[in-house]
Amino acid sequence: MDFFKDLPPNIIISQILGAIGIIVGLTVYAGKTRPQILACKFVSDAIWSANYLLVGGYTGSLLNAIGMVREVVFYHRGTKKWASNRFWLYLFAALALLSPIMEWAQLGSFSWLPLLPACGSTCSVFSLYSRRPRTMRILGIVTQLFWITYGIILSNVTSVLSSTMLIISAIIGMIREAVAERKEA
């Protein structure tokens, strides 16, 4: 336990949240239906927004907060008229792409780091907008590759573990779906 005594409280709390995020993350792409995937993703984004805020990953925190709104809108897509407009797809993609500007303004200089979660979140917008769980999982893998890189640079161990587990979860979901399709045929 001596390891933890030298860590600042914000890092300890972020890693505890990250551990919870890992557990929740296991359920995201394991969901059988689009609504299940979106509901789990909402909870996951709430946890990761707090995690990234605590480690100084402001773009990552902002993108996860925006992601929570995105999941609510996409959850209702097809059942509520207001959520079914393609406007939302473009709005959330634009917000993801523009999100690094806030961090650049705060830093006072350009950095490549905020572009990683911005690219990941842009892929996530298209992933979660899709009606097909298979497409959601494939684009989810691409999304997580950007977030893994971001987590490595920030030394956010739980983030890297979570993204890795999300990729594994997406692959398992695709295998499960392929086996089910083969049984039906």
Question: Which residues make Cβ contacts (< 8 Å) with residue 4, sequence separation at least 6?
Answer: 12
Q: Does position 32 have pLDDT exceeding 80, yes or no?
A: no
What's the mean per-residue pLDDT of the chain?
Answer: 89
Structure tokens at 124: 């996530």
Measure Cα distances from 45 to 2, 51, 90, 124, 162 in Å: 31, 10, 20, 12, 12
Q: What is the pLDDT of residues 124-172, one digit of tens each?
A: 899 988 888 889 899 999 999 999 999 999 888 899 998 998 898 889 8
Angle between helices 157-184 and 9-28 (to 10 degrees): 0
Res 27: pLDDT: 78
Q: Does position 106 have pLDDT exceeding 90, yes or no?
A: no
Alpha carbon distance 185, 176 (integer Å): 14
Res 4: pLDDT: 62
Q: Decide: 54 and 11 in contact? Cβ < 8 Å.
A: yes
Q: Does position 1 have pLDDT exceeding 60, yes or no?
A: no
Percentage, residues of the chain above pLDDT 90: 49
Res 24: pLDDT: 86
Res 121: pLDDT: 92
pTM over 0.75: yes
Where does the pLDDT of residue 31 fall: very low under 50, low under 70, confident under 90, or very high at 90 and above?
A: confident
Structure tokens at 10: 């914000």
Instruction: Centre a 10 Å sphere on the Cβ of residue 104 and count the other Cβ atoms it contains.
Output: 15
Max Cα separation, the chain? 58
